[in-house]
Amino acid sequence: MMMKNNTFEEIAEVLASAGKVLIFPHINADGDAIGSSAALCRALRSLGKECYILIEDEIAGNLKFLDDGLTTSDTGVMKADVSVCVDCGETGRFPLRAEKFAEAPVTVCIDHHETSKGFCTYNHIDPDAAATAQLVFRLIKAMGVEIDKAMGEAVFAGILTDTGSFRYSNTQKETHLIAAELYDSGIDAAGVAQEIFETVRIERLLVENRAVETMVTLHGGKAVLAYVTQEMLRETGATMDETEGVVGQLRSIAGVELAVFLKEYAPEEIKVSLRSKKYVDVAKFSSDFNGGGHERAAGFTLRCPIAEAFDRVKEYVSAMPEMK
Amino acid sequence: MMMKNNTFEEIAEVLASAGKVLIFPHINADGDAIGSSAALCRALRSLGKECYILIEDEIAGNLKFLDDGLTTSDTGVMKADVSVCVDCGETGRFPLRAEKFAEAPVTVCIDHHETSKGFCTYNHIDPDAAATAQLVFRLIKAMGVEIDKAMGEAVFAGILTDTGSFRYSNTQKETHLIAAELYDSGIDAAGVAQEIFETVRIERLLVENRAVETMVTLHGGKAVLAYVTQEMLRETGATMDETEGVVGQLRSIAGVELAVFLKEYAPEEIKVSLRSKKYVDVAKFSSDFNGGGHERAAGFTLRCPIAEAFDRVKEYVSAMPEMK
C-alpha cells in the first residue's frame, strides 16, 4: 500500500460535513459490495444526508432484498459533495461511473482488497479485514450512528458473502465479534443467510448436475476433472457464471486433493479452474500453462477445442509427481 | 423440563473428584456429538483423568479428524466413576451402551435437546444453546482448564455442524462470542470447516444428481417435488443418509416456498420430507398424513409404492390453497 490510511474518525468527519453523498459499489457487485453500500447509505440518511448508491448494472437476484429505494442508475440524481467507493479501489471497477465519481470535490475509498491503490482524497484500506462490511461497521460507529436492524443485516450480508459463512481462512476473531454485536441490533441472521444462499436459479442446479456427470477421477480419486460446454448451458438455460460453484463441489469430495474444471467460453476458448485442498501447488500448475493464481486456487486459458483441452490437462495431471 | 439444571460449577466439581470418566455421544453421532465429546475428553485428560469416548458405531468419515485416540468401542476399557452423556438425554440414544452407562455410580447429562428428560444424577440441559458444544465450552472453563487448539477445534466443529455454519436460526449472539474466543486458542477454523463440509463421498454427489433430476415443479415454481429410489441408491452406491441434503437443495431454489422430497426406504415404505421458506405451515401438511414436525420442517411416512406416494403428495400440493 502506498499511502497511509485515514482513520474512521477522519472519514466520519468528512461525511458529517457533506450534504450529498454518492456511494459506488463495483460492477457485478457481490454481497459485500451491496451490503457495505446499503449499510453506509442507511447510516448517512439517518443523519439527514441525501444519499444514493449509484449502480451501472443490475443487482443479483439474491441481493435485491438489500435494496429498498437505496440504489439508482441515474447519474443525474445529484451532484455529490462526496463520492465514496466501497469494496473496490480503482475506477476500472466502476467504468461507466468513473467520471461521475471524480466529479465530487472529495472522494473516499473504503476497501479490503490488497490491490487497492488508495487513489482517493481519503482512504481506509485494510487487507486483513475479512469483508469491507467490517470496515463500514466501524465507520458507522465512528459516525456516531446506532446500527439498526436494516444496517445490521446489510453488514451481516457482506460478512456472510466474503467469509463463505465464516468458513474461509480470512475469517477473523473480529468477524465473529462484529457478528455478535449485530445480534444486538435485532438482525434476522438466518433470514439474511436464506436470502444470500437459498436463492439459486433452477437452471444453476441443472447445469451443476450436467457438469458433475462429466467427472473423471485420476490417481485413485485424489484428482478429479470435469467440464462444462456451451451446449450444456444452452440445454439447461444456465449462464457460465452459474457454474462457479462446481470446482468447489469437486474439491469437496472426500479424498480429493486436486479439482480441475474446464469451462468452454467459446469453441476455442477454454478457461480452466484449479483448486487444491492441502499440498498441491496449483499456482505452479497454472504457470505451466501461462496462467496465474494462488497455491490453492488458480486458473489459465487454453485456445483449443474442449476435447483437446480436456486431454491435455488430463495428461498433465496424470504425470504430476506430487499426486503419486 | 422436569428438573432444575445443575450449574457448570457443580458438574465441574463432580468431574474433579472422579478418576475415571466415560463419555457417551449418541449413535449416528454428528459433529456436535463428537465435537462435544472430544473437547470434554481432552479437557479431562489434561486434568490427569483417565477418560475415553465410548462409541457403538463407526464415526462418520468427515468427523474422524476429531478422534485421535479418544474413542473406543471396548466396553471393558474401564469401570468409570462418572458416565457423561453429551448431546442426548435418554439411554435410547446409546442403546448398546445403556447398561455400561448406568454402571457408574454417578451420571451426568450435558445436552441442548428440548426432549431431554434430565435422567442423570447431574444434568445441564439448555434448549436455547445452538450446540451442545457451547455448553461443553462453558463446562471446560468452569473446570478451570485452558482451552487449547485441539479442544477449541472440537468445540468449533460442534458449533459449525449444529448451526449450519452460523446460518440456522438457532445461532445466538453467544455462539459468535464463543467462536471469537476460540480464535484465541489458535484454532484453524477454515481447516475444521473443510473437514466438516468438504469431505463428501463421490456417491453422495451422484445420488444428489439423480434425485434433483426427478424434480417436478408446481404452482409456477413455488413448489418443487423430487424423489429417490432404492434403485438410485444401488446404481450410485450411495446410502439413504447421503440424500439428507437434497430437500435443502430443493428449497434453495429461487422462488421455491415448499420443497417435498420422497425417499423409498422399502418398496412400500416412503418417507416424505417437507421444508418451507416463509409462509407454508408444513407441520399442518404433515399432520394431514399423520406425520409430525415444525412449521418449516416436517415429515411423514406413506405405506404404498413410490409412484403412488408421489402422485398422492403431488395431488395434495396441487390443491393447497396457500400456494395459489
Task: Give the pLDDT confidence of A53-68 residue by residue, as tens digits.
Answer: 999 999 998 999 999 9
A174-211 residue pLDDT tens: 999 999 999 999 999 999 999 999 889 999 999 999 99
- Give the Cα separation of B121 and B6 in Å (integer): 9
The gap between the terminal CA atoms of chain B, to the nearest Å, is: 41
Q: What is the pLDDT of residue A115?
A: 86
Confidence of residue A3 (pLDDT cuts 50, 70, 90): low
Cβ of residue B132 closer than 8 Å to a chain A Cβ: no
Task: Report the gap between the CA of A255 and the closest CA in chain B (Å).
Answer: 7
Chain A residues with CB-CB distance to B251 below 8 A: 198
Sites in chain B below the pLDDT cut of 70 = 1-3
Confidence of residue A84 (pLDDT cuts 50, 70, 90): very high
Chain A residues with CB-CB distance to B201 below 8 A: 253-254
B229-245 residue pLDDT tens: 999 999 999 999 999 99
pTM value > 0.80: yes
Chain A residues with CB-CB distance to B254 below 8 A: 61-62, 199-202
| CA nearest to A277 within chain B | B194
A89-102 residue pLDDT tens: 999 999 999 999 99
Cβ of residue B239 closer than 8 Å to a chain A Cβ: no
Instruction: Identify from B170, B176, B214 which residue to disrupt to test chain A contact, counting A C-beta atoms within 10 A and taking the largest count.
Output: B176
Mean pLDDT of A152-159: 98
B272 contacts A224 by C-beta, under 8 angstroms = no
Mean pLDDT of A122-149: 97
Helix H or strand E encompassing A138: helix A132-142
- Give the Cα separation of B292 and B272 in Å (integer): 11
Chain B residues with CB-CB distance to A160 below 8 A: 167
User: Quick check: A202 and B193 CB within 8 A?
Assistant: no
ipTM associated with this complex: 0.90
User: Quick check: B166 and A165 CB within 8 A?
Assistant: yes
Q: What is the pLDDT of residue B3?
A: 63
Q: Can you give chain B as a three-state secondary structure string?
A: CCCCCCCHHHHHHHHHCCCEEEEEECCCCCHHHHHHHHHHHHHHHHCCCEEEEECCCCCCHHHHHHCCCCEECCCCCCCCCEEEEECCCCHHHCHHHHHHHHHCCEEEEEECCCCCCCCCCEEEECCCCCCHHHHHHHHHHHCCCCCCHHHHHHHHHHHHHHCCCCCCCCCCHHHHHHHHHHHCCCCCHHHHHHHHHCCECHHHHHHHHHHHHCCEEEHHHCEEEEEECHHHHHHHCCCHHHHCCHHHHHHCECCCCEEEEEEEEECCEEEEEEEECCCCCHHHHHHCCCCEECCCEEEEEECCCHHHHHHHHHHHHHCCHHHC
With a CB-CB cutoff of 8 Å, which residues 64-123 of chain A face chain B? none
Cβ of residue A167 closer than 8 Å to a chain B Cβ: yes
Q: Which of B166, B197, B249 lies closest to A252 in CB terms?
A: B197
Mean pLDDT of A245-251: 94
User: Quick check: B253 and A202 CB within 8 A?
Assistant: yes
Task: Report the gap between the CA of B275 and the closest CA in chain A (Å).
Answer: 12
Cβ of residue A220 closer than 8 Å to a chain B Cβ: no
| CA nearest to A159 within chain B | B166
Cβ of residue B179 closer than 8 Å to a chain A Cβ: yes
User: Quick check: B167 and A217 CB within 8 A?
Assistant: no
With a CB-CB cutoff of 8 Å, which residues 266-285 of chain B face chain A? 277
Instruction: Identify from B205, B224, B251, B261 which residue to disrupt to test chain A contact, counting A C-beta atoms within 10 A and taking the largest count.
Output: B205
Chain B residues with CB-CB distance to A209 below 8 A: 209, 212-213
Interface contacts (A, B; CB < 8 Å): 109
Confidence of residue A117 (pLDDT cuts 50, 70, 90): confident
Chain B residues with CB-CB distance to A197 below 8 A: 167, 252
Confidence of residue A122 (pLDDT cuts 50, 70, 90): very high
User: Quick check: A190 and B198 CB within 8 A?
Assistant: no
User: Quick check: A183 and B172 CB within 8 A?
Assistant: yes
